[in-house]
Amino acid sequence: MKSKIDSFIDHLAAANMENVFNPYVDKCDIHDLADGPQRRRINLRNALKSAVENNTESVWIARDLGYRGGRRTGLALTDEAHLSNFSALHKNIKLQKATKGPVVAERTATVIWNMLDRVSDSVFPWNIFPLHPHLPNDPMSNRCHTSKELKACDHIFNEMLDIIRPNRVFAIGSNAHASLEKKGIRGLCVRHPSYGGQNIFIDQIERAYGIEK
């Protein structure tokens, strides 16, 4: 019998939508290694297993995967430059780079991990929509998911919560917060660090975790 984690990853890999890159099954012909999707599935499996074994306290929920971050790593709010930070936060789990060429950094992930490195609790980052939506004919772009796409992945989000069972939920940005409210999930809304929100985000996380400035 499959574990909850393996079933979850199978359901995630089965999601298939137009103009949406699924990093757990789709291979980018430009950037990915031959086994890129498999490496991302392993990354996520190791992260989930560690989160369960170490009783992860909270989840940080953002909107969707970005083309410079989770599309490449398979881990929400995490670019390749911060794979080692994710590993350290989760008891030095094994994480693999799934792409060719130099490490790519993402601005949002950098701000997020600067704060996660200061948080004493174990945190599992995720997105309200777990895949990378992009503009038609422009796979290296970011767009917001549609309501139809979000609804198609509702069961995946619910499975994640059932696996992690967090005590606290943080919504990063108003989009994620609105989606959580529609699901009846209470979460602390903090400003998304992009578009001038970096200082507000940092201040809100410092206050939420009692971190000294």
Query: Residues 93-97: contacts with CB within 8 Å, 24+ apart?
Result: 93/46, 93/47, 93/49, 93/50, 94/42, 94/46, 95/43, 95/46, 95/47, 96/39, 96/42, 96/43, 97/33, 97/39, 97/73
**pLDDT score, position 167:** 94
Upper half-sphere CA count for residue 37 (Cβ side, 13 Å): 15
Question: Structure pTM?
Answer: 0.95
Note the pLDDT tens digit of each residue in 48-97. Answer: 999 999 999 999 999 999 999 999 999 999 999 999 999 999 989 999 99
210 contacts: CB under 8 Å, gap ≥ 6: none
**pLDDT score, position 213:** 73
Note the pLDDT tens digit of each residue in 144-175. Answer: 999 999 999 999 999 999 999 999 999 999 99
Length of the chain: 213
